[in-house]
Amino acid sequence: MPTKFLFVLVLFISATCIGQNSQVIPEPVSMTTKSGEYLLKDKIIIAADNTSAPVKKLIELLKEQLSASTGFPVSVQAGNEGKPDISLSINKNANSQIGKEGYQVLVTATDGIMIRANEPAGLFYGAQTLLQLLPPEIESKTIVKNVSWSVQAVEITDYPRFGWRGLMFDVSRHFFTKEQVKDYIDQMVKYKLNLLHLHLTDDEGWRIEIKSLPKLTSVGAWRVNKTGTFGDFSPPTPDEPRDYGGFYTQDDIRELVQYAKDRFVNILPEIECPGHSLAAIASYPELSCTPGAEKYKVRSGEKIMEWPPSGHFYGLVDNTLCPANDKVYQFLDKIFTEVAQLFPFEYIHMGGDETARNFWDKSPQIKALMKREKLKNLDEVQSYFVKKVEKIVESKGKKLIGWDEILQGGLAPNAAVMSWRGVAGGIEAAKQKHEVVMSPTTYVYIDYMQSDGILEPPVYETLRLKKVYQFEPIPDGVDSKYIKGGQANLWTEQVYNMRHAEYMTWPRGFALAEDVWSPKEKKNWNNFVARVETHFKRFDAAQIKYAPSMYDPIFKFSKNAKGEIVVDMSTEVEGLNIHYAFDNSFPDNFYPAYNKPLAVPKDASTMKVITYRGDKVTGRMITFPIAEMKKRAGVK
């Protein structure tokens, strides 16, 4: 009995320590748990030794967050009266270890909470960590009673691994309002992400007011509303109203930029060209090389491209700006003039990906351009276009960044590359001594499904949480000084509303945050999972949607020598049991638990599975038709 008691005690102590050290995402550089805790009660006093505008704004945000959930009055200490609960301090002599965005947090049971940093940004990130040390209910927008608002005594030193920690939000495929973009910013800054890449233009809509080109929004921002599976919609008919969409006025953009700045987020604008430009061409048909472009309309989700297995895609309509047309460069000059004035961030993104060139191949204008400029192929035609765009962007005092296709035909002299087709483009750009942001489909395309396609809204691939957590922005053999950081991309063809945008982003956004902030050597999958589960509770309190897909089984199907379908199941989270049924009933933890590959009964029509941790359900009930298993196993 004593031995058993000691074993249980050790487990309890271990679990307690893990709980104390497993609250913060991303994992801090250094975190030491001390004895005791500090309790916030009755009223909360904040003191700061810096009165700059950014620190004042941080205090305002902190007051709002603390008072909304605790119900306690929060005041700012004007003098030395009383002992503050939370002290914010800017280092008089900079701490070289923590840099501009790093911070230190010290919590003691007697002296309260101290956050120190070299810059206001560091204080902001220290405050986000403090909020994570409080109970999950701190995220509630309404008062929560009967909660002990205590903070474990702790000492933290923390700073980011990369300066570029981004999320791309596609607001073109579906328009998201200014307030929804603000919500997205609020969610990302909790996890110390500092770059919001707004994909503002595409075939499906132009989302930013350009005053010198009013048709971009009067025409280009609107399309027919379709519901279903994007890409397979029926072509719109003339009688269907084009009233679905929207755009941001320039005042909206200024408001968003300031909102982001107050939270230490930069906004990167993307104006997609030369491909993905149908909304622009529908507005100004003279920008196309192709006769008949005046008939083009903003895409409503109907098929406009072919994607053969060979990978040599081509357009069914010409959605490209014409590189041989001087009016295109005049058009882009007007756009970038206004965009540069609205966005203070040093970069402008030009897109540059997935240019369907089959119409260029037949264009007399393109052939004349190639002859005049001695361009050997269409790669060099696109490079000619990119270099012209770079000069325009640089004339506005900005730097150019684009997707990795801008490498084709020769990279523009000063351009930065966002590597999305794996990491090869980023490696090549870094070897050419260009700045790189890593954003590969293989790890951080969060429009991909999170679980098996039998359960998720259909997209091209599945990208599970564990795979995102394995993202390493610096490939082997690459000089790290050229890698600015990394970002995840949320394309929204299949994302119709904000709740689904949240579902697709979280918890994969947690993994990204740790990939680009935490020391590489501190990453630990099992420890991360424990922290994710804590943050699910925080999101429940905040009423933010997230995907529970990490609890869903991973399925593999094959056939054995008898011709039977064999089901192999596993989980990415340890300690789960998979319970299953082939008899059309709904399994729970009293049903058989999977422990080895299963041969499917001859006459079964479905398999249902669900995951448990002990007697607590974790995963979702999944119904797998045997017909689908046969397809995947190659059984006819």
Report the C-alpha gap between 609 and 310 in whole angstroms. 36
Distances in Å between the Cα of 55 and the Cα atoms of 76, 121, 194, 317 are 12, 9, 17, 52
What residues contact residue 37 under an 8 Å CB cut-off, 6+ apart?
107, 109, 150, 151, 152, 153
Tokens for 222, please give them. 């609107």
Helices (H), 263-325: 278-283
Cβ atoms < 10 Å from Cβ of 305: 17
Q: CA angle 71-127-154, nearest 5°?
A: 100
Report the C-alpha gap between 462 and 464 in whole angstroms. 6
Tokens for 324, please give them. 């041989």
> CB of 230 within 8 A of CB of 237?
no
> CB of 417 within 8 A of CB of 367?
no
> CB of 49 within 8 A of CB of 90?
yes
Residues annotated as part of the active site: 202, 276, 354
Closest CA to 491 of 353, 633, 308, 332: 353
Cβ atoms < 10 Å from Cβ of 437: 26
> CB of 357 within 8 A of CB of 401?
no
Q: Read off the amino acid at residue 50.
A: N
> CB of 226 within 8 A of CB of 242?
no
Residues β-bridged to residue 152: 37
Buried b (16+ CB within 10 A) or exposed e, 398-428: bebbbbbbbbbbebbeebbbbbbbebebbbb
Tokens for 31, please give them. 């975190």
Report the C-alpha gap between 152 and 252 in whole angstroms. 41
> CB of 357 within 8 A of CB of 378?
yes
